[in-house]
């Protein structure tokens, strides 16, 4: 029996690489190879050596090939979806000059504030790029690098985002896509290209940047001989432009721009992210108005502290992550890495409301509640920015798609369900970012719309659906009251 045509979708995230081997005809997941990353840094610093991403990609592909039992010749295409916003600076040989600054590195917060003012304030940035500079945005990191390590900035022969770096290693072509580029801070969603004024403001030469492909599904080249040897794959297979991880998850869910926020998505991972597909270009200062991988738009809001922060609280308490109970009177805002939404880059965690009878399980439950309320408030802001009333019954009744590692956890699901009062849909694919990347690879290899392809793949699946429960407004109001009162000096705000 002949082997099916197979594509590889790569999810290169903050913590690890996953390489999903997908049957290009049916969307069946045949195997997933995994390999860890190393993140270093103290305080606000978060860095990784980009070379570890490349080694992890090789290890993940090798593990996936072994698990699948398929011959390497069955693979016809590959695409990378990567963590957004990271800053990679390379020398003339394509080697990293220094560790990459990751999206959750908050040291560039002062530079972000300065950039916002220098270009006319938040509204001007949102109108031009779709996003206001914060510490996460790559432009802020480039300004930080230019000020704190000018030798590295001056020596840079190329500037890349994480997924660009890996794609270039695969195809030998410097290319990106509008989706990931729109998170850089120097790409204009209004103009659909790098913005010369912003590049001048940053002192960044456009020649250092990769070309922008029309979409993430565009075939930008073929797997080089060197990359084929490193990965154990056939030389010459299709390499797609790829995209950012959030844009790829939208593709994996089959979300195009056909409707406005019919099914908002909440992703529970290292960060908490809410997004939806839209054909309208967002220009609100309350969210990120990213481009999507398919040429439409992806309004998105992101929090820094989600599953990793709650797991840290569980570790400190000596509890399993599922050994939690509702927080009672305790409120715990687990802002262990600063916070992006709300914009509190120097924030620390805050605990209040302790009583003699407060249990460890309640403290852990309070961490879940603090993280969940923060990301659900970001969802409300996204809905409002897109012209919808979050409290309107017809809006609140729309199902919320829950994805990411946290969506596999009972306590996360119960907490989001209780605090949102919404019906939930839990997609049956656990590797949506990799699945979306596989759809981009299949499109590059064989043609067709990647969103439609992913939607067809998903049609045979069975998503888990949970009806709404009565909203826990008491906990919601208690947490939001503490958050609103503490957003000044207690949390590192102004």
Tokens of 366: 């309070």
Cα Rg, the chain, nearest whole Å: 22
Q: What is the pLDDT of residue 280?
A: 84
Which residue matches tokens 């309004």?
A: 299
Whether 364 and 324 have beta carbons less than 8 Å apart is answered as yes
Q: Per residue of the chain (494 residues), give pLDDT as tens.
A: 566 799 999 999 999 999 999 999 999 999 999 999 999 999 899 999 999 999 999 999 999 999 999 999 999 999 999 999 999 999 999 999 999 999 999 999 999 999 999 999 999 999 999 999 999 999 999 999 999 999 999 999 999 999 999 999 999 999 999 999 999 999 999 999 999 999 999 999 999 999 999 999 999 999 999 999 999 999 999 999 999 999 999 999 988 755 444 578 999 988 899 998 888 888 888 889 999 999 899 999 989 899 999 999 999 999 999 999 999 999 999 999 888 888 888 899 999 999 999 999 999 999 999 999 999 999 998 888 878 888 899 888 889 999 988 999 999 999 999 999 999 999 876 789 999 999 999 999 999 999 999 989 987 667 899 999 999 999 999 999 999 988 765 565 55
pTM exceeds 0.85 for this model: yes
Cα–Cα distances in Å, from 450 out to 7, 218, 221, 238, 404? 13, 10, 18, 14, 21
CA 185 and chain centroid, separation: 16
Cα–Cα distance measured from residue 177 to residue 443, given in angstroms and rounded to the nearest whole number: 14
**What's the residue count for the chain?**
494
Q: Which position among 245, 294, 311, 472 bears the catalytic label?
A: 245
Tokens of 126: 């949102």
Whether 7 and 441 have beta carbons less than 8 Å apart is answered as yes
Annotated binding site for substrate: 84-85
Phi-psi region of 261 (alpha: psi -120 to 50; beta: other; left: phi over 0): left
Beta strand spans in 179-264 (E): 187-188, 193-194, 211-212, 219-222, 238-240, 243-244
Residue 442's nearest CA partner among 197, 228, 165, 219 is: 219
Whether 487 and 493 have beta carbons less than 8 Å apart is answered as yes
Active site residue 23: no
Q: What is the pLDDT of residue 441?
A: 98
Cα-Cα-Cα-Cα torsion 89, 90, 91, 95, nearest 10 degrees, comes to 140
Cα–Cα distance measured from residue 221 to residue 45, given in angstroms and rounded to the nearest whole number: 35
Residue 336's nearest CA partner among 19, 23, 42 is: 42
Annotated binding site: 84-85
List the domains of the chain with CATH numbers.
6-246 (3.30.420.40), 256-426+463-494 (3.30.420.40)
Tokens of 486: 């503490």
């Amino acid at each position: 029996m002949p082997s099916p045509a197979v594509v590889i979708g790569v999810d290169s995230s903050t913590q690890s690489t996953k390489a999903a081997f997908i049957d290009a005809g049916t969307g069946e997941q045949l195997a997933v190879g995994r390999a860890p990353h190393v993140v270093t840094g103290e305080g606000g610093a978060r860095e990784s050596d980009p070379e570890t991403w490349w080694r992890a990609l090789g290890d993940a592909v090798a593990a996936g090939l072994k698990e699948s039992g398929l011959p390497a010749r069955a693979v016809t295409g590959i695409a990378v979806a990567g963590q957004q916003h990271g800053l990679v600076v390379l020398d003339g040989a394509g080697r990293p000059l220094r560790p990459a600054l990751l999206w959750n590195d908050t040291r560039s917060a002062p530079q972000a504030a300065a950039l916002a003012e220098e270009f006319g304030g938040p509204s001007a940035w949102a109108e031009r790029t779709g996003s206001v500079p914060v510490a996460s945005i790559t432009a802020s990191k480039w300004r930080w690098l230019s000020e704190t390590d000018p030798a590295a900035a001056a020596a840079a022969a190329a500037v890349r985002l994480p997924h660009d770096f890996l794609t270039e290693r695969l195809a030998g072509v410097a290319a990106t896509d509008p989706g990931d580029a729109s998170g850089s801070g120097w790409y204009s969603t209004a103009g659909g290209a790098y913005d010369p004024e912003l590049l001048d403001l940053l002192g960044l030469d456009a020649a250092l940047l990769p070309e922008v492909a029309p979409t993430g599904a565009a075939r930008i080249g073929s797997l080089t001989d060197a990359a084929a040897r490193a990965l154990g794959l056939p030389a010459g297979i299709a390499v797609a432009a790829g995209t950012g991880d959030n844009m790829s998850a939208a593709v994996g869910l089959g979300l195009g721009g056909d409707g406005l926020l019919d099914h908002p998505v909440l992703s529970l991972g290292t960060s908490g992210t809410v997004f939806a597909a839209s054909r309208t270009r967002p220009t609100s200062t309350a969210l990120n108005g990213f481009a999507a991988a398919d040429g439409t738009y992806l309004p998105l809001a992101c929090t820094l502290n989600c599953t990793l922060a709650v797991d840290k609280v569980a570790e400190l308490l000596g509890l399993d992550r599922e050994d939690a109970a509702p927080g009672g009177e305790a409120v715990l805002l687990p802002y262990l890495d600063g916070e992006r939404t709300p914009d509190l880059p120097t924030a620390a965690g805050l605990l209040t409301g302790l009583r003699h009878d407060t249990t460890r399980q309640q403290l852990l439950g309070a961490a879940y509640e603090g993280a969940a309320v923060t990301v659900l408030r970001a969802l409300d802001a996204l809905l409002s920015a897109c012209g919808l009333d979050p409290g309107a019954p017809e809006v609140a009744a729309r199902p919320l798609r829950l994805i990411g590692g946290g969506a596999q956890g009972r306590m996360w699901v119960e907490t989001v369900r209780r605090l949102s009062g919404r019906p939930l849909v839990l997609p049956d694919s656990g590797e949506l970012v990799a699945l979306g990347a596989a759809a981009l690879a299949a499109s590059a290899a064989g043609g067709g719309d990647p969103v439609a392809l992913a939607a067809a793949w998903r049609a045979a699946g069975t998503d888990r659906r949970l009806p709404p429960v009565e909203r826990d407004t008491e906990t919601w109001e208690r947490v939001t009251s503490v958050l609103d009162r503490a957003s000044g000096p207690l949390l590192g705000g102004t």
